[in-house]
Amino acid sequence: MTRIILTRHGQTLWNIEGRVQGSLDSPLTETGLLQARSLALRLKDERISHIYSSDSLRAVNTAEEIRREIGLETLTLNTALREFSFGEWEGCRWQDLRNNNPEIFKIWDSEPHLVTTPGGENMELVTKRAWDFAQQIIQAHKDETICLVTHGVTLKLLITKALGYGVHEWAKTPWQHNTALNILEVEEDQWNPLILGDCQHLNES
């Protein structure tokens, strides 16, 4: 049985400012670094053998905290774990986008899977690239514990797929706050959730 630990990066400057990040980046805040360290301490005894991270710096810095705490020598980066690309929206404030594009956001709020962002991706594309990568990791590391560090929308889509829901049902799975922890056991095609969207380590810190 393979154990998959899925998590999101710590809080960033653009998270605070309400800006769209996507494939762009902004640094972890002081709070974000503390969140990453708290997560790393929580994962210290999980016997993680490999860590894979999005190549976005906010995810890399979060993954590095985990790597150092558990004593692994290497961290592997992969673009498949990047955040949903929001194209022309990236760097803009969410509220400004809502004010300027009310018709698009009417759909986004009720059926976001129907939206392809201008110059960006849609949920089907993101789910496929992230899920295909997760399947490769499972095949490469049977009976091990693997940690994947990714982003809010990508992570939620992965969890949605793992629990057997379609992309259009993504509202049925928990939102993934900064450093939210998900642990699932995978045997053949069955994904058994042990922990979903948990941030208990933040309360304890």
pLDDT tens track for 39-53: 999 999 999 999 999
Residue range(s) defining the domain that contains residue 115 = 2-204
Q: Which band of pLDDT confidence, cut at 50, 70 and 90, is reported for residue 125?
A: very high
User: What pLDDT was estimated at residue 189?
Assistant: 85
CA distance 47 to 146: 9
Helix/strand/coil (H, E, C) string of 104-147?
HHHHHHHCHHHCCCCCCCCHHHHHHHHHHHHHHHHHHCCCCEEE
Residue 120 has pLDDT above 80, yes or no: yes
Region class of 164: left (phi > 0), else alpha (psi between -120 and 50), else beta: left
Q: Count structural domains, the chain.
A: 1
> In CATH, what number is assigned to the domain containing residue 97?
3.40.50.1240
Q: Are 149 and 53 in contact (CB under 8 A)?
A: yes
Q: Residues forming the annotated binding site for substrate?
A: 8-15, 58
What does R_g of the chain's alpha carbons equal in angstroms? 16
Q: How far is CA 131 from the centre of its chain?
A: 12
133-176: per-residue pLDDT in tens? 999 999 999 999 999 999 999 999 999 999 999 999 999 999 99
Nearest to 84 by CA among 156, 136, 133, 178: 156
Chain-wide mean pLDDT for the chain?
Answer: 96
At 188, the pLDDT band (50, 70, 90 cuts) reads: confident
* Continuous segment of H or E residues that includes residue 68: helix 57-70
**Could you tell me which of 182, 173, 175 has the C-alpha nearest to residue 200?**
182
Q: What is the pTM of this model?
A: 0.96
Give the 3-state secondary structure of residue 18.
coil
- Residues of each annotated binding site: 8-15, 58
Confidence of residue 205 (pLDDT cuts 50, 70, 90): low
Active site (catalytic) residues:
9, 83
pLDDT value at residue 204: 74
Pairwise CA distance, residues 11 & 16, whole Å: 8
- Look at residue 114 and tell me whether its pLDDT is greater than 80: yes
Hey, which residues does 182 pair with through a beta bridge?
A: 6
The owner of tokens 């860590």 is 51
